Amino acid sequence: MGAYVAWGNEPDVLPMFADLAAAGALALPHHPARVDTMGFRRWQTGEALEKGPWGTQQPIGDAPDAVPDLIFCPLVGFDRQGGRIGQGGGHYDRYFGAHPAALRVGVGWSVQEIDAVPRVSTDMALDAILTEQEFLLCGDRL
């Protein structure tokens, strides 16, 4: 399963997945350099994190690669149709496009909901959204 290390005011999901992290079954985003591609690397409780090229915390460079089939990702904005606004780099959309079978759950605060997220052809819809108020299914994959 994939998650993320909260940055700024993003909801911190790591406590929810403490058992998975302790068992070594959790993967976190990893950026090898300041490029547009992103992968996931395994991370276990107690292992070091390092500052990545975009300023976020990520597993160290030699952590094993992972391809999660369920990914919890942060968002800046969302709509009820699964539209997601991220930080603007397109990293998650590119990853989702390369791994379309992975289930995608956006995590944010209820106040980040908007009526409609503008979309382009490379935007990948979320399957669900988790806020402090609800778990919203956005498609028929879950």
Q: What is the mean pLDDT of residues 15-42?
A: 94
Question: What is the pLDDT, as a whole number, of residue 141?
Answer: 87
Does residue 128 belong to any structural domain of this protein? yes
Question: Is residue 87 very low, low, confident or very high in pLDDT (cuts 50, 70, 90)?
Answer: confident
**Looking at the predicted structure, is the pLDDT value of residue 35 above 90?**
no
Segments forming the whole domain that contains residue 82 = 14-137
CA distance 42 to 65: 6
Beta bridge partners of 41: 28, 65
CA distance 29 to 43: 10
Does residue 9 belong to any structural domain of this protein? no
Q: What is the pTM of this model?
A: 0.95
C-beta separation of 40 from 52 below 8 A: no
Domain count, the chain: 1
**Looking at the predicted structure, is the pLDDT value of residue 106 above 90?**
yes
Tell me the CB-side half-sphere exposure of residue 127, using CA atoms within 13 A: 15
CA distance 75 to 31: 18
Does residue 77 belong to any structural domain of this protein? yes
